[in-house]
Amino acid sequence: MIITLVVDQYKNINNGTTATARHLSERLVKRGHTVRILTASKGVVDKNIQENNIFVTEERIFPGFMHLIHGNGMVIAKADKKVMREAFEGADLVHFMFPFNLMKKGKSIADAMGIPSTAAFHIPPEHITCNIGLRQCKPLCSTIYRAWRKHFNRFNHVHTPSIKMKTILEGYGYKSNIHAISNGVSDVYCKTDFPKPAELEDKFVILSSGRLASEKRHKDIVNAVALSKYNSRIQLMFCGKGTKEKSLIKLAAKKLENPLMIKFCDRQELLNIINYSDLYVHASEVEAEAISCMEAFVCGTVPIIASAPRSASSQFALSEHNLFKSRNVVELAEKIDWMIENPQEKTRMEEEYLEYGKNFRLEICVDALEKVFLQAIEEKEGK
């Protein structure tokens, strides 16, 4: 097949949707498919994609909001009809990965060209409201869900990464065939014996990775470590960047006995950090799936995960010790202390998560999504 992936931000792997697009394109190419990328990211380099299969449109500018958009590692594309037609010409399928203008205009163009198309729902509106300072503004989020509904309902098939997200969409009246398929984790993420750096050998390393954004609730992790009986022993590390970096450093300086470590690292360094970390904490209250949490537990790093109404991540909790109520820093501190005080149980959990993680391997998930693509193509041909 020739598949065009429409991904506003493709250059930098700084959010879950872009990481998903990168992993998906890599696997599709390995299966013998030709993958094209339509994006607003200039200067894209992808060893899996031929240069002439990368189509770039201009970035859309939102005056007054660009610091928030760029601060969260995003670019949003202008809907350039000429570039879109070039990217779609001869394709067997077009798959839209962001719910913005490229999807809205691109769907009409694909239909006019007689090319089947599918869409992905990876970005809950709560991500947007949180990042413009409105937290989970329910009236605005509901308005966005309803506004997007008319665009997503134009597709026969919509992919979303969790049952939780599928249920939410159905509750808002989304009528497409909604396929809850995990985005999956690359085989690169696996258990290794990478040692702790010498300066961390006597520390209990707690990791959280992903964008440093308000809805990720990194401040709850800082406050929980501050309440822990083992504050002096814990080294807290955040792998990511975002608009909350400075405020987190300031908060940690007041509350933690060991300076907060913040790194933005490549995949290999992140893999090494995951493997020498003692615990992973995922405090986000808005999540369609949480690739970063999955990357940790497939390596055997035990997670503690926030339970929140708009987060699907709690599905990964295998016991009560792996779960805490979102924003409850006292409970999170207690769960952290339990993990430190029960090393044998934590070791048992590591093996349990290694086995559980096999269900989320990328190959299995791409198998399922590839079947959706083929179904969309067959339905179009049948018509």
Write the pLDDT tens digit of every residue in 337-351. Answer: 999 999 999 999 999
What is the pLDDT confidence band of residue 108, given thresholds at 50, 70 and 90?
Answer: very high
Q: Are strands 303-307 and 323-325 parallel, antiparallel or unpaired?
A: parallel
User: What angle separates helix 138-152 from helix 101-112, to the nearest 10 degrees?
Assistant: 10
Write the pLDDT tens digit of every residue in 285-298. Answer: 999 888 899 999 99
What is the pLDDT confidence band of residue 315, given thresholds at 50, 70 and 90?
Answer: very high
Sign of CA dihedral 136, 138, 141, 145: positive
- Chain mean pLDDT for the chain: 93
Residue 310 has pLDDT above 90, yes or no: no
What is the pLDDT confidence band of residue 281, given thresholds at 50, 70 and 90?
Answer: very high
Residue 5 has pLDDT above 80, yes or no: yes
Q: Please give the span between the terminal C-alpha atoms of the chain, in angstroms, as a whole number.
A: 19
Nearest to 299 by CA among 355, 236, 367, 344: 355
* The pair of three-digit structure tokens given for residue 301, joined into one six-digit string: 């790093």
Average of per-residue pLDDT across 153-157: 97
Q: Quick one: fold of 198-359? A: Rossmann fold (3.40.50)
Residue 383 has pLDDT above 70, yes or no: no
Q: What pLDDT is attached to residue 45?
A: 84
Residue 24 has pLDDT above 90, yes or no: yes
Residue 35 has pLDDT above 90, yes or no: yes
CA neighbours closer than 13 Å in the CB half-sphere of residue 219: 13
pTM: 0.87
Residue 196 has pLDDT above 90, yes or no: yes
Buried b (16+ CB within 10 A) or exposed e, 187-217: eebbbeeeebeeebeebbbbbbbbbbbbbbb
Cα radius of gyration (the chain): 21
Q: Residue 179: what are its φ and ψ, rounded to 5°?
A: -105, 115
Domain with CATH 3.40.50.2000 in the chain: 2-184+361-382, 198-359
Check: CB of residue 288 under 8 Å from CB of residue 259: no
What is the pLDDT confidence band of residue 170, given thresholds at 50, 70 and 90?
Answer: very high
Q: What pLDDT is attached to residue 134?
A: 66
Q: What pLDDT is attached to residue 308?
A: 92
Distance CA 269, CA 240 (A): 12
What is the pLDDT confidence band of residue 17, given thresholds at 50, 70 and 90?
Answer: confident
Check: CB of residue 321 under 8 Å from CB of residue 332: no
Q: Residue 140: what are its φ and ψ, rounded to 5°?
A: -70, -40
CATH number of 2-184+361-382: 3.40.50.2000
Q: Which whole-number Å values give the CA distances from 365 to 99, 180, 357, in the listed order?
A: 21, 10, 12
Average of per-residue pLDDT across 355-377: 94
Nearest to 315 by CA among 346, 336, 293: 293
Distance CA 163, CA 180 (A): 5
Identify the DSSP state of 301. Answer: P
